């Protein structure tokens, strides 16, 4: 790092958005209070009828984070550390993943056979970890949410199946895996489509006897899981609670009135 670079602030940091850019506001305290209620870019002022340079740069930086989240292949170091079983959908690369959602929902016959051969059958709880549209989200939240979920399942005495990591995965892969292994409750952790607020937000989809013959409405969802949203630990505890509800009610998604 040379001397001039030391003074260039990182525009992509979330706290940059907290700044009020309106010049001479009547009440700075009021704008700050207002800004706390939303992630929207309020109180940014203007230059003529356009954004100020800082606002524009921040917008682009946030968009770049979203782009990176979508286009970067997931770093599988953590997945390997945790010893998950790894498979891949029919998709071969990121470009195909984005263009062909249909291929991101299914596996080859070989993969299906391998899953059936290598993984625990008829578990109470089957975990599926999917990169989805943000591998960053998985790496940011997986460790904490997995640890607390396992404590919870142990406490309840559930038989947990082989955790399966799916690369280039859409949500519906959980149905295929559930069918192949005869799981009672299938839980999928998947990276959310990044917005302009964060690239680290993860969702958990849950279904009772998930099946590709059932509609999308079979799924119960916990979304917005990241440090500033629902903390992964609290989300994990809620997933344990919901698993209990799904087991007891023998249904999930819109059929379930929580």
For other proteins, the binding residues (CB under 8 A) are 26-27, 29-30, 33, 143-144, 147-148, 151-152, 154-155, 206, 220-224, 227, 230-238, 240-242, 258
Q: Of 19 and 241, which CB lies nearer to other proteins in the complex structure? A: 241
Q: Of 183 and 206, which CB lies nearer to other proteins in the complex structure? A: 206
Token representation of residue 72: 């970067």
In the complex, minimum distance from the CB of residue 138 to other proteins, in angstroms, rounded to a whole number: 16
Residue/partner pairs of 59-64 with CB below 8 Å, 24 or more apart: 59/196, 61/11, 61/12, 62/12, 62/196, 62/197, 63/196, 64/12
In the complex, minimum distance from the CB of residue 52 to other proteins, in angstroms, rounded to a whole number: 24
Cα distance between the two ends of the chain: 54
In the complex, minimum distance from the CB of residue 29 to other proteins, in angstroms, rounded to a whole number: 6
Q: Of 6 and 15, which CB lies nearer to other proteins in the complex structure? A: 15
Token representation of residue 228: 């500033």
Asked if 78 contacts 142 with a C-beta cutoff of 8 angstroms, the reply is: yes
Q: Of 22 and 233, which CB lies nearer to other proteins in the complex structure? A: 233
Q: Which residues, including other chains, have CB under 8 Å from residue 120's CB and lie 6 or more apart? A: 159, 161, 162, 181
Q: Are strands 185-191 and 164-167 parallel, antiparallel or unpaired?
A: unpaired
In the complex, minimum distance from the CB of residue 28 to other proteins, in angstroms, rounded to a whole number: 9
In the complex, minimum distance from the CB of residue 95 to other proteins, in angstroms, rounded to a whole number: 31
Q: Of 120 and 233, which CB lies nearer to other proteins in the complex structure? A: 233
> Can you tell me the distance from the alpha carbon of 247 to that of 257, in angstroms, rounded to the nearest whole number?
14
> Can you tell me the distance from the alpha carbon of 251 to that of 133, in angstroms, rounded to the nearest whole number?
27
């Amino acid at each position: 790092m040379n001397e001039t670079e030391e003074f260039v602030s990182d525009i992509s940091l979330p706290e940059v958005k907290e700044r009020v850019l309106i010049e001479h506001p009547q009440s700075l305290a009021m704008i700050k209070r207002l800004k706390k209620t939303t992630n929207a870019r309020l109180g940014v002022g203007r230059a003529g009828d356009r954004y100020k340079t800082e606002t524009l740069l921040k917008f682009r930086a946030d968009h770049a984070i979203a782009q990176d989240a979508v286009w970067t292949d997931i770093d599988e170091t953590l997945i390997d550390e945790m010893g998950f079983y790894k498979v891949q959908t029919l998709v071969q690369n990121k470009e195909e993943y984005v263009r062909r959602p249909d291929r991101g929902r299914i596996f080859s016959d070989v993969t299906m056979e391998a899953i059936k051969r290598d993984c625990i059958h008829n578990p109470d709880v089957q975990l599926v970890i999917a990169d989805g549209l943000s591998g960053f989200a998985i790496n940011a939240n997986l460790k904490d949410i997995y640890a607390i979920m396992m404590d919870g399942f142990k406490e309840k005495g559930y038989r947990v199946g082989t955790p399966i990591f799916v690369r280039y995965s859409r949500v519906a892969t959980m149905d295929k895996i559930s069918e192949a292994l005869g799981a009672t409750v299938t839980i999928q952790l998947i990276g959310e489509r990044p917005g302009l607020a964060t690239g680290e937000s993860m969702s958990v989809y849950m279904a009772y006897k998930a099946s590709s013959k059932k509609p999308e409405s079979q799924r119960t969802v916990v979304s917005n899981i990241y440090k500033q949203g629902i903390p992964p630990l609290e989300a994990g505890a809620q997933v344990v609670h919901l698993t209990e509800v799904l087991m007891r009610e023998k249904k999930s998604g819109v059929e379930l009135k929580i």
